[in-house]
Each structure stands twice: as C-alpha cells, then as structure tokens.
Amino acid sequence: MADSSLLANGVSALFIDGKLSEGRAGTFPTINPATEEVLGLAADADAEDMGRAVEAARRAFDETDWSRNTELRVRCVRQLRDALQHHIERLRELTISEVGAPRMLTAAAQLEGPVNDLAFSADTAESYVWNQDLGQASPMGIPPRRTIAREAVGVVGAITPWNFPHQINLAKLGPALAAGNTLVLKPAPDTPWCAAVLGEIIAERTDFPPGVVNIVTSSDHSLGALLAKDPRVDMVSFTGSTATGRSVMADAAATVKRVFLELGGKSAFVVLDDADLAAASGVSAFTACMHAGQGCAITTRLVVPRGRYDEAVAVAAGTMSSIKPGDPNDPGTVCGPLISARQRDRVQGYLDLAIAEGGTFACGGGRPANRDVGFFIEPTVIAGLSNDARPAREEIFGPVLTVIAHDGDDDAVRIANDSPYGLSGTVYSADPDRAAAVAARLRVGTVNVNGGVWYSADAPFGGYKQSGNGREMGIAGFEEYLETKLVATAAT
C-alpha cells in the first residue's frame, strides 16, 4: 500500500471481520487540538456494529486455529510492525495533528517506541514455554503425568484513551494477539484516526485472518461498556480514568470476566534534603509540562524539604515559565495543546479551585495570552497548598505542578503515599542507599531514582491501589492475556 492511501479521502472506516466498512451511525469529525480545525471524518459505529465486531472475534477464536498457530501469530505481528515502520512518517504527521503530540515525542513513546515494541511481543510468543512438565507426584497414591499449559484467554475487548494512542493501542494489541487471543479495539472518540489507520494497514499488509482484529470507532463514549457486558467477551483491557475503570469492573462482574485496568495517577516527585534541589525541581517542572501534562504516570506533586520550599517553588516556576505552549509541529515544542476544549475547561476548573482553596500561582494559571486558537493552558506551578487540597489529590491531566513541603524522609514517604493512587514516583537524593530506602517504601508500581528511566518493552507497567490492577508490557503484560490449564494424565 502506498503512503498516499492512508486516510487519503479524509474519512476513516471501521475494521470488522477483515473488512473496512462504514459506521451505521454515520461519521463524526476529528479535530486538530492545536488549531481547532476539522481534520476529517471517522466512521461512527453503533451498538449493532459493536455486536458484529464481537461476533467476528468470537468466531475467529472458536472456529480457526489462530490461538494454536504460534508461527502465524508471530508472522502477523511482525508484519504489522514492519508495515507501521514503512508508514512511519505519515503516522508521525497524523499523530501530531490528531493528538497534538509534540513532534519530539513521536520519536519515543508517542509513535516509534510502541511500533518497535511489537517485536517484543512477537519474540516472546516465539520463545515462550507454552507447556511445562510439572514433575512427579502421587496424589492419593496415583502417579499421573502432569503438564501446565498456558493458553489464550479468548476474546479481548480493548478500550483505550486519547493521550498516547499508539503506545496504549499497541501495548494491548501486541501481547494480546501474540498470545493467541482475538480482539475488539474501541479507541477514544478524540483520536479515532490513530486507531482506524491500523485497520487499513492490517487489511492490506498483513496475513491476520478475518475477525482476529476488529477496530470500532465511535463518537459514543459509552459504546465500550458493551465490551464489558457482553458474555462473548472473555477479558476487558482498559486504560483510562479511575471513575470509568470502576464502571468497567462493575459491568464485567455480571459475567465474571477478567479485567485489566491501567488507571489514573497523582504521582509524587520526592526530593530529599541532601539532593541537588535546583536540578531536581527543574526536572520535575520540565516533566510536568511534557505533552501538556497529559500522562497518567507524570509526577505532578513536587514534595520538597520545608526549609527550602520557596527555593523549590522559584526554580520550578522559572523552568515552567521558560516552556511556552507551542505548535506541536515545531521540533522544539515540549508543551503542546490539551486534547479538547472540554479538557482545557476541566484543567482551568482545577486552577480556579486551587485559588479558592488558598493556593497561589508561581507562574501560569490560565490560557496563554498570545494563543486565542487551540486548546492551550500555560504551564502552572501551584504553591501554598497542603496534600489535603483537591488540586493536590485529584488527577488534573494538564501542565500543572503542585509543590508540597515535607519534614524529613518519613514525612515525605507519608505524603507520597497519602493518595488514592499508586502509579509512579520519583526519588532524588545524593545518597543512593537513602534514595533506595525511600523508593522501597513508596506504594507505587514504578519508581524513578535520580533520573532512572523505567519505560521499556520488557519492563512491566502498572499501579497499586486505585491506579489499577495487573501489568502492561514485559512478560507480566504478555501473561495477562493467558489462562493456566493443568492436564493430569494417568500413567500407564
């Protein structure tokens, strides 16, 4: 398929049972968040379209050898990776325009990283030990031959958000498919093209059998709930807000299906009193601005020694003030737009709340004066709030950093853990042993110590508490999509 054919007519399609098709509800627009211009149209599915997708996935799992043909699965996943790499420049432009992702991030987790990470899923399936001899035993005096078999769960419903669509879509598709499942993907209405383009590429450049992958775009946020409720779906893999995650769990309970949840975060960046405060505070502020703060694992609480609080606020504000919201096409842009007017208004609501609860802005606090078009918010540092304030406890999902004072290591750990979330954390200290001791006490799924990078295809990602359950990526993420069967055969 030539590059020029990707969404060439400005209208994307559903991908159901191996075919591209229109949505029964018509179409809906996808918007460039930096310009507020309509990029084009996406197929708008209804409940009947979703039902067809689930039926196709069910049939492909039950009536073909997909779940047992490891060689085919490995080949198809590698074909998808190669085809995405072939189209990488077109995909880069699509990601910048539809997601508002800064160009620099498309060389990492916004595009190239997750495309390359498909190799990990294929390689894992190829080398995985699917059957394991459990060894000798004589239960009740009977000596059976026992084997542990690892098998695909079945039909997976994947529900994904808009902030890192390629990373999250492919982090579900890759391992789920390589493990032998069939799949129905329901992406966020804000970024339908980033998902729909996968259907075009799979249809024309891979050997995936019909029904194995189905992609259903819709303007209806509630359509994903059908995947959780449908008894033909064996597992739901959901990334999004904690509130929606609770609804997914409740809907899935009726059929007791497996549920993987990667949810919200309000992560702490802990600076101990022996650390380089200026360097750590600057890194924290820069991190909070990346992609306009639209990342669940971004550390948005800067927890610093009380005696140096004002210094930390000044450094953070200086860094954030130097980062201007800009055109995501510009190679130097770090902080682009928020995804929508609704999200911009939500962030502004939290900024207004910060003032109402007694906080002050060390910088930022609203829309940039020079940007009347686009869903932009200034990078903002909030000072003067305790960890009990709502802007310090609730996920804002914007370029907003709240600075909180601590009174020593124990207090810093208490503040970091005093959250309903437990997704990620950071610790800075001049003493590696001291930093490690604090990191060990944080109730989170990932910890960055003194600038360590935890994101990698072979590293599991997920959270504690209300940040979700299960793990994505790594061997642990691959095994989320597997069942365990014990086969005991009487010895002869």
Q: What whole-number distance in Å separates Cα of residue 272 and Cα of residue 433?
A: 12
Report helix, strand or coil for 200: helix
Can you spell out the DSSP letters for 225-290? HHHHH-TT--EEEEES-HHHHHHHHHHHHTTT-EEEEE----EEEEE-TTS-HHHHHHHHHHHHHG
Q: Are residues 473 and 443 in the same domain?
A: no
74 torsion bin: left (phi>0), alpha (psi -120 to 50), beta (else): alpha
Token pair of 55 as six digits: 């039926």
CATH code for position 334: 3.40.309.10
Q: Which residue has the tokens 């800064």?
A: 102
Token pair of 85 as six digits: 């790499």
In a domain, 363, yes or no: yes
Residue type, 141: G
Q: Are residues 327 and 440 in the same domain?
A: yes
Residue 482 contacts residue 467 (beta carbons within 8 Å): no
Number of Cα atoms under 13 Å in the Cβ half of residue 475: 4
In a domain, 6, yes or no: no
Q: Which domain holds residue 408?
A: 268-449
pLDDT of the residue at 252: 98
Q: Are residues 212 and 274 in the same domain?
A: no
**Cα angle 476, 147, 137; round to 5:** 115
In a domain, 409, yes or no: yes
Q: Are residues 154 and 274 in the same domain?
A: no
Q: Are residues 283 and 385 in the same domain?
A: yes
In a domain, 456, yes or no: no
In a domain, 460, yes or no: no
Q: Are residues 404 and 484 in the same domain?
A: no
Among 178, 165, 239, 168, residue whose Cα is nearest residue 479: 178
Q: Are residues 258 and 273 in the same domain?
A: no
pLDDT of the residue at 407: 98
In a domain, 80, yes or no: yes
Q: Are residues 149 and 165 in the same domain?
A: yes
Q: Are residues 402 and 257 in the same domain?
A: no
CATH code for position 160: 3.40.605.10
pLDDT tens string, the chain, 492 residues long: the values are: 334 468 879 999 999 999 999 999 999 999 999 999 999 999 999 999 999 999 999 999 999 999 999 999 999 999 999 999 999 999 999 999 999 999 999 999 999 999 999 999 999 999 999 999 998 888 888 888 999 999 999 999 999 999 999 999 999 999 999 999 999 999 999 999 999 999 999 999 999 999 999 999 999 999 999 999 999 999 999 999 999 999 999 999 999 999 999 999 999 999 999 999 999 999 999 999 999 999 999 999 999 999 999 999 999 999 999 999 999 999 999 999 999 999 999 999 999 999 999 999 999 999 999 899 999 999 999 999 999 999 999 999 999 999 999 999 999 999 999 999 999 999 999 999 999 999 999 999 999 999 999 999 999 999 999 999 999 999 999 999 999 999 999 887
Q: Are residues 273 and 219 in the same domain?
A: no
Residue type, 235: M
In a domain, 24, yes or no: yes
pTM, rounded to two decimals: 0.97
DSSP 8-class letter at 144: E
Among residues 98, 112, 200, 262, the one annotated as catalytic is 262
Tell me, yes or no, if 394 is annotated catalytic.
no
Per the structure, how many domains does the chain have?
2
In a domain, 445, yes or no: yes
Q: Are residues 355 and 418 in the same domain?
A: yes
Q: Are residues 233 and 101 in the same domain?
A: yes
